[in-house]
Amino acid sequence: MPDTTLLNFGSDFDVAAINAIDAKVALDAASGQGLRVFTGHSQQWPSIQIKAPNGAWDLSRFENVEAGLKNTGPEAVEIHFRVENDGSDGGFNCNNGSILLQSGESGRISVPLVRRTGGAVGIDLIGMRGYPFPQEGLAAAGTIDPARVTGFHFYIWQSFSDNAFLVRSIRATGAWKATAPVAMSAGTFFPFIDTFGQYIHRNWSGKIQAESGLEAARKVEDADLAAHPGPRGWDKYGGWQDGPALKATGYFRTEKVDGKWWMVDPDGHLFFSHGICCVNSDKGLSDSTVIEDRESWFKDFPGKRTEFEQFLTTTTPLMHHFKGRKVEAFHIAAANLLRKYGPDWRRISGEIAHARLRSWGMNTLANWSGPETTLMRRTPYTVSVSFERKPIKGSSGYWDKFPDPFDLQFESCVREALVAEAARTGDDPWCIGYFIDNEIAWGDDTSLSQAVLHSPPAQAAKIAFQLFLQEKHGAISGLNDAWKTSYASWDAFLVSGAGSENTLLAGQNAPGEAAANSAADGGMNADLCEFYSRIADQYFEVIAGAVRSLTPNHLYLGCRFAGVNHRAARAAASWCDVVSHNRYELSIAGLKTPVGAVEKPVLNGEFHFDALDRGMFHTGLVPCATQAHRAAAYAAYIRSALANPLVVGTHWFQYRDQPVTARSLDEENYQIGFVDICDTPYPEMVTASREVGGGMYEFRAKAV
């Protein structure tokens, strides 16, 4: 079947039909067949969405969708491309891809059409994001109905500068060949998970076939670690002993040297934090997987054996199939460690983790690593601090509502959490610093202010907003003139909007309030933006004050932005010692200081690459074709960080693959580990990490 051009953006293409967010589009006059896209940086996701002219394309005969692109901007840019069904949200009802293009570079991005139809008859699986084969009618994450492709999305993620690119054409490519139906009935497919938590119906290099295989794998790795003890020229902390000698303070700090930001270790040596998250922790070592309603999935289920009963637990998942139910679960990775290392498995696996990281050219136990391992004090570590607090009731987020930093309990609760943490790690030179919070929802540059408007009158942030507006506008009539509203009094302002969460975001009016489209006009939008900055400043200022007064030896590493607008980023730079981002991309070479912000060093708190050639069902957030491809992407990402003068470290998420049958929390079953569920390292990743980590200091010092 020949490839089919879906869009070539000729003179008859309707540019006005494109939905653009923080972007502008125009036909390419020079070629007569191309779409020029200019993206801004005021939104987290500047994008264009192109809908199918007749409602949908039927691409069921094709294998891929391919877009021809050229970066016409002055800087490198990563362009994301999404093929969509109705209901696409970035994870479900869509297929995704991305490409990194240097300035002036052209390329083609090909997105495979991963189908959700054609699964095995009578084999119904639940509670996972990825499945061993597509399932009839099941809108699993990362799958699509190719017969109903409703449009395409191009977007840039969280850029701090304008970008420009040319879309030359979009084509459907490759003839799809229907695979034979799964040649198993439910009776032969189940059980499909072996006693070690591995997929039964496939074999691969490194798969454990019997308990003796765990001991054999241990002996092979022991010899490998002995042959590769770690990089030369490093001090005990993993700092650059052979590099420049700076002031030694006994704790980690930051300093700009020859135009590049660095951490400086307790002995005064330059330090780049090359690390890995969730080392021997309950979030990475022993992600539980739900057993209830899925007992038939497991062959020789280890939880039935006396020695493994300790790994049975109950949990209440947050979302999807098991949401809100209290269900039985099992820590299968921990059971494998007990088999491999014996009753003293926690201590032994901790010792091995330290040896592994050093051997792999790493020097940091990153977020959520277990205290049994971090407090061995052989590898520097970061600490995650969380605390209870009152939310802004009108807000929302993936994990939780946004905290109210004006509430008096906000400061007292963060101080209480830091007092407890200081007792454990406050005087420990191996502790780099503290992440406080994780991936909270910052939204756009008015979202938090709008959330405050929809909060009850006793909300501390709403009272603070009222005082801010009174200072600025005086009488209520001044506010009404600026906002085109009709509040009867300041008390009426306080009581309005309560309980009508997100009505402004939805474009509906709460009593006495303007609609969202009016918010974009004049005074209301300006006030929403300005107060958003006050919320962000209050949040970071209160936490920074607590860190510096209670744990002065350690760095405040920020809140791990998963998405951020310029106002939040500027506030973080004003108060954090290091600004942290979780950037799941191909490169962070272009990460820079937002306009108007104080320049601060940046730490990348999470990234990963993933492939499905070793028995897993879901690639995670940045898919790769093979383990070799995954390792190459890893090395390229680390080098992009080393070449960026702002970046002082980058941390892989996570140490161990998630369970094949998914972690209980949210049904993720991603192939994202440096080691698999049986504690066997991926050799391709180890080789790449040793190569890039062993030479990282020399590489960064020479980078222009």
- 305/299 Cα distance (integer angstroms): 13
701: helix, strand or coil: helix
- Whether the CB-CB separation of 93 and 87 falls below 8 Å is answered with yes
- Whether the CB-CB separation of 428 and 382 falls below 8 Å is answered with no
- Which value, to the nearest 10 degrees, does the dihedral of the CA atoms of residues 458, 460, 466, 472 take? 170
Helix-, strand-, coil-residue percentages of the chain, each rounded to 5: 30, 20, 50
First to last CA, the chain: 48
DSSP 675: B
Q: Which stretches of 116-245 are DSSP H helices? A: 186-189, 211-227
What's the pLDDT score for residue 504? 35
Query: Is the pLDDT assigned to residue 515 strictly greater than 70?
Result: no
Closest CA relative to residue 493, chosen from 522, 460, 470 = 470
- 630/634 Cα distance (integer angstroms): 6
Query: Is the pLDDT assigned to residue 206 strictly greater than 60?
Result: yes
Closest CA relative to residue 616, chosen from 571, 568, 682 = 682
Average pLDDT value for the chain: 92
Closest CA relative to residue 634, chosen from 674, 595, 669 = 674
Q: What average pLDDT score do residues 352-364 get?
A: 98
- pLDDT-derived band at 139 (thresholds 50, 70, 90) equals low
Phi and psi at residue 83, to the nearest 5°: -100, 130
| Cross-strand partners of 384 | 435
Query: Is the pLDDT assigned to residue 502 strictly greater than 50?
Result: no
- Whether the CB-CB separation of 266 and 248 falls below 8 Å is answered with yes
> Count of residues for the chain?
704
- pLDDT-derived band at 118 (thresholds 50, 70, 90) equals low
Tokens of 694: 């062993």
Per-residue pLDDT reduced to its tens digit, 41-70? 888 889 999 999 999 999 999 999 999 999
| Edge-to-edge strand ranges of the sheet holding 381-385 | 555-556, 431-436, 381-385, 364-365, 273-276, 647-652, 602-606, 579-582
- Which value, to the nearest 10 degrees, does the dihedral of the CA atoms of residues 26, 30, 31, 33 take? 20
Phi and psi at residue 291, to the nearest 5°: -105, -35
Query: Is the pLDDT assigned to residue 495 strictly greater than 60?
Result: yes
| 353 membership: H or E segment, kind and range | helix 345-359
Query: Is the pLDDT assigned to residue 181 strictly greater than 70?
Result: no
What DSSP string runs through 64-113?
Answer: EEEEEEEE-SSS-EEEEEEEE-TT--SSSSEEEEEEEE-TT-EEEEEEE-
Answer whether the bond into residue 191 is a cis peptide, omega within 30°: yes
What's the pLDDT score for residue 700? 98
What's the pLDDT score for residue 694? 97
Biggest CA–CA distance in the chain, Å, is 80
47: helix, strand or coil: strand
- 99/79 Cα distance (integer angstroms): 5
Phi and psi at residue 615, to the nearest 5°: 90, 10
- Give the count of beta carbons closer than 10 Å to the beta carbon of residue 681: 21
Query: Is the pLDDT assigned to residue 216 strictly greater than 70?
Result: yes
What's the pLDDT score for residue 417? 98
Phi and psi at residue 484, to the nearest 5°: 60, 45
Closest CA relative to residue 661, chosen from 262, 323, 191 = 191
Tokens of 68: 């021809």
- Whether the CB-CB separation of 394 and 452 falls below 8 Å is answered with yes
CATH class of 211-367+560-702: alpha beta
Query: Is the pLDDT assigned to residue 378 strictly greater than 90?
Result: yes
Closest CA relative to residue 618, chosen from 690, 576, 666, 573 = 666
DSSP 681: B
- 688/704 Cα distance (integer angstroms): 23
- 425/135 Cα distance (integer angstroms): 48
What's the pLDDT score for residue 90? 87
Closest CA relative to residue 694, chosen from 279, 379, 274 = 274
What's the pLDDT score for residue 506? 29
What's the pLDDT score for residue 121? 59
- Whether the CB-CB separation of 63 and 179 falls below 8 Å is answered with no
Per-residue pLDDT reduced to its tens digit, 648-702? 999 999 999 999 999 999 999 999 999 999 999 999 999 999 999 999 999 999 9
- Whether the CB-CB separation of 153 and 74 falls below 8 Å is answered with no
What's the pLDDT score for residue 435? 98
- Whether the CB-CB separation of 52 and 149 falls below 8 Å is answered with yes
For residue 447, count CB atoms less than 10 angstroms from its CB and return exposed for 0-12, middle for 13-18, buried for 19 or more. Answer: buried
Amino acid 271 reads F
For residue 232, count CB atoms less than 10 angstroms from its CB and return exposed for 0-12, middle for 13-18, buried for 19 or more. Answer: exposed
- pLDDT-derived band at 22 (thresholds 50, 70, 90) equals very high
- pLDDT-derived band at 179 (thresholds 50, 70, 90) equals low
Return the domain boundaries, the chain: 4-175, 211-367+560-702, 447-530
**What is the β-pairing status of strands 47-51 and 19-21?**
antiparallel
| Cross-strand partners of 205 | none
- 561/486 Cα distance (integer angstroms): 37
Per-residue pLDDT reduced to its tens digit, 561-609? 998 999 999 999 999 999 999 999 999 998 999 889 999 999 999 999 9
What's the pLDDT score for residue 286? 64
What's the pLDDT score for residue 119? 52
Tokens of 411: 């400061």
- How far from 464 is each of 362, 411, 485, 562, 704, CA to CA, in Å? 45, 16, 20, 27, 46
For residue 102, count CB atoms less than 10 angstroms from its CB and return exposed for 0-12, middle for 13-18, buried for 19 or more. Answer: exposed
pTM listed for this prediction: 0.92
Between these two residues, 240 and 144, which has the higher pLDDT value? 240
Query: Is the pLDDT assigned to residue 479 strictly greater than 50?
Result: yes
- 168/283 Cα distance (integer angstroms): 44
Per-residue pLDDT reduced to its tens digit, 396-453? 776 778 999 999 999 999 999 999 999 999 999 999 999 999 999 999 999 999 999 9
Q: Which CATH superfamily is domain 4-175 in?
A: Galactose-binding lectin (2.60.120.430)
- 695/638 Cα distance (integer angstroms): 11
What's the pLDDT score for residue 512? 34
What's the pLDDT score for residue 285? 60
- pLDDT-derived band at 464 (thresholds 50, 70, 90) equals very high
Tokens of 180: 């034979």
